[in-house]
Structure 1
Amino acid sequence: MTGRGLLARVRLRHRGPGSDFSLDAALEAPPGITMVLGPSGSGKSTLLSVLAGLTQPDEGRIAVGDQVWFDSSRGVSCPPHLRQVAMVFQSAALFPHMTALGNVEFALGPSVPRRERQERAAALLAQMKVGHRAHQFPARLSGGETQRVALARAIARSPRLVLLDEPFSALDRELSLSLAREVCERLLALHVPVLFVTHDPEEALMYAERVWMVEHGAVRSCAHDEVPDASRGSPASGRVPLVGAVERSG
């Protein structure tokens, strides 16, 4: 495991009226793209919420590189704002009263001088191919442009872990697959673990270096030839290697 990798072993049990949910995960993710695959309600989003610090597990340990974010045995629980995590959801949640540039500038924070904030924000938008939309407000952006701005904002503060919770599922399929590939290639350049939640086996196989399956709150590593094809109920194929990805067997 590289010094930049994610190591986590967590358990969470939730009991409520008419519901009983458990999350049990022991996982390891080096820098690169890990697809998190599973049906709705399986625990994918809960897993990301635990890693981001939005939900506290009952027990376990979460570490990224040399930083320990959670350790129940030592009473360590790093709050979300102190974890260097970039998280993007299906709903981009951009500030509607700020331009695309303003949204990214805001993420950089007031400690960065104004001119530097503007230059860095503009460069990030250009990297995400929406530099020409820098001065538009979110209401004037397309769905794909909105998610590009959200990603630029998310990575503005040099995260150690990137969490994507079905960020393109609201887009049409062709655009979703195309944008997922482009974004994954750009995120590889960060050299940090990227966890990309999806319920789409084709998307998982096309762009993942690794695949985790989440079923009823249990998380396991899954070989590419074990991933079921939703349309045929059999293992799928057709991976498209990403530029900059490290090829791994299995």
Structure 2
Amino acid sequence: MSISLNNISHSYGQQKALIDVDLQLQAGEIVALLGPSGCGKTTLLRLIAGLEPLQQGDISIAGLAMAVASEGLQTPPEKRGIGMMFQDYALFPHMTVGKNLEYGLAKHHDVDERRAWLQQAMDKMGLKDMWDRYPHTLSGGQQQRVALLRALAPKPCIMLLDEPFSALDEHLRQQVREDTLDLLKSIGASAVMVTHDPLEALFMADKVVVMDHGHIVQQGAPHEIYASPASAFVAALFGPSNQFELQVVEQGLVTPFGNIKQHQLADDTNCKVIVRAKDVRLHQLEAPGLVAAEVISVHPMGNETHFRLRLPGAQQVFQARVRDHWQAQAGATVWVEVPNDAAFVFAA
């Protein structure tokens, strides 16, 4: 089902958590709320769920008003048709997996059909023969999947997920993400997911909503957010990056990496330039147009290598990530290149 949020503002005392937020979620769409801690993501999720009283604005689900601040309307959480999965999973420790899963089915009109669905979903998600086990006997990934199925068991029209994978190790996190995405898509559920992990947002979502200090600063398809960031803040979210504060001179920028041409900003404009570490190209041999740099440190990271570099005339240390498995040592000289289209330029 669709969700419509209009002119939402919310405060905790003097602290403004959300400021004039508008957001539309289409039926069957998965939306990721992305941003640093304290930016308002979880507050927005709790307002959708009805766990916080709405202070300003209105919230509709499938065209029906759920909360209207000006009219004092506040539909209780249990009447919004929403399933919510919390960060700590919130499984009942004294109940078996089966009892946890059936907890929300007491008032369901077709309990037998939902029980059969649960059994099939458990098999699909690697939880076969765990119906009679207790949560403390399960791994973190198994508990996460039980929590997800418990939220989905009553057949909610919308799923809300608050940092659902943060407690899992990296390898398990990827597998559980895939299982969760497959399950949400298979039942056609709309979902809103809170995350501070940019790669998780890109992987899971149909639409990424970037938040900062209570505002939505950009929203769009994952490839749009990644390739066409609207601000330096958004550009720097996706992995290690190098940042410069420069002034436009003759439609160009003189950076420690070399000259970068640009045409969107007028001369003498103060600007901020973001170059992602993965876009810095390193060469082992000198060539025209390349800039020499001293290697400060080299860190192999499996399928890529992370370099920390010092460039001529630059005080700060810069970063590069390359796919090649170099054997460069600290103190060695490499040559740096940054393509024009790899630099994101914004007015300061």
- What TM-score does the superposition give when structure 1 sets the normalisation length? 0.84
Q: 1:107 aligns with which of 100, 104, 107?
A: 104
Aligned length: 232
Work out the percentage of aligned pairs sharing the same amino acid. Answer: 34
Which residue in 2 is equivalent to 1:61? 58
3-state SS, counterpart of residue 241 of structure 2 = coil
1:20 is aligned to 2:20: no
Deviation at 1:117, TM superposition (A): 5.9
Q: Check conservation: 1:88, 1:165, Cα contact below 8 A.
A: yes
**Can you list the C-alpha shifts for 1:61-113, whole angstroms capped at 9, x where unaligned?**
11121332112344421011111111112201111111111111111115557
The structure richer in helix per residue is 1
CA distance in 2, matches of 1:175, 1:93: 19
Which residue in 2 is equivalent to 1:229? 238
User: Relative to 1, partners in 2 of residues 1:192 and 1:115: Cα closer, same or farther, differing over 3 Å?
Assistant: closer
Deviation at 1:187, TM superposition (A): 0.3
CA distance in 1, matches of 2:114, 2:191: 25
CA distance in 1, matches of 2:185, 2:276: 26
| Structure having greater relative contact order (Cα 8 Å, sep ≥ 6) | 1
Larger Rg: 2
Q: 2:178 aligns with which of 178, 181, 197?
A: 181
CA distance in 1, matches of 2:86, 2:277: 26
- What TM-score does the superposition give when structure 2 sets the normalisation length? 0.61
Q: Check conservation: 1:104, 1:152, Cα contact below 8 A.
A: yes
3-state SS, counterpart of residue 131 of structure 1 = coil
CA RMSD of aligned residues (A): 2.3
Q: 1:91 aligns with which of 85, 88, 95?
A: 88
**Which stretch shifts more, 214-223 or 153-162?**
214-223
Which residue in 2 is equivalent to 1:241? none
Deviation at 1:235, TM superposition (A): 6.6
Paired letter, 1:136:
R
Which residue in 2 is equivalent to 1:246? none
CA distance in 2, matches of 1:23, 1:100: 37
Please show how residues 1-250 of structure 1 align to structure 2 within 5 Å: 4-16=1-13, 20-24=15-19, 25-30=21-26, 31-110=28-107, 118-219=115-216, 220-222=218-220, 223-224=224-225, 225=227, 226=229, 227=234, 228-232=237-241
User: Relative to 1, partners in 2 of residues 1:221 and 1:115: Cα closer, same or farther, differing over 3 Å?
Assistant: closer
3-state SS, counterpart of residue 229 of structure 1 = coil
Moved over 6 A (4+): none
CA distance in 1, matches of 2:186, 2:30: 11
Paired letter, 1:199:
H
CA distance in 2, matches of 1:64, 1:197: 19
The structure richer in strand per residue is 2
